[in-house]
């Protein structure tokens, strides 16, 4: 691994830990206009996403709760952050791009700008 690659990996690791420890977007919105729940059957990570919608249909607030590894918690915070202020149609596009990136179907360089923080999940 080249020296620059190691420094980049350290930076990505720091970004993940910052999201994990920040507490930003953690919690549950009640009442919520949108509620989604997911469990990773392989590792047992569990996330519930709740969102409220503004009068214009945009996502006003997005929060997540649950348990799991640093990556699942940090990526949930990243996604919640990216969704706020977006239309539900754009939110679906971002969620699809994020899923494709996690399944290695698209290169990191093609991620939408709103998902810039998700590049720290590489590897």
Residues 3-37 have pLDDT tens digits of 556 665 665 577 767 767 787 899 999 999 999 99
Q: How far is CA 62 from CA 42, 83, 104, 111, in A?
A: 26, 7, 25, 20
Residues 68-104 have pLDDT tens digits of 888 888 888 888 999 999 999 999 998 888 788 777 7
Question: Model-level pTM greater than 0.85?
Answer: no
């Amino acid at each position: 691994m080249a020296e620059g690659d190691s420094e980049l990996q350290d930076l990505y690791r720091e970004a993940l830990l910052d999201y994990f420890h920040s507490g930003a977007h953690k919690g549950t919105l009640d009442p919520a206009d949108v509620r989604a729940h997911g469990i990773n059957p392989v590792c047992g990570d569990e996330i519930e996403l709740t969102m409220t919608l503004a009068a214009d249909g945009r996502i006003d607030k997005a929060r997540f709760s649950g348990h799991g590894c640093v990556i699942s918690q940090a990526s949930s915070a990243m996604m919640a952050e990216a969704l706020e202020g977006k239309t539900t149609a754009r939110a679906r596009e971002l969620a699809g791009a994020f899923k494709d990136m996690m399944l290695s179907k698209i290169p990191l360089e093609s991620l939408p700008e709103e998902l810039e923080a998700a590049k720290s999940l590489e590897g």
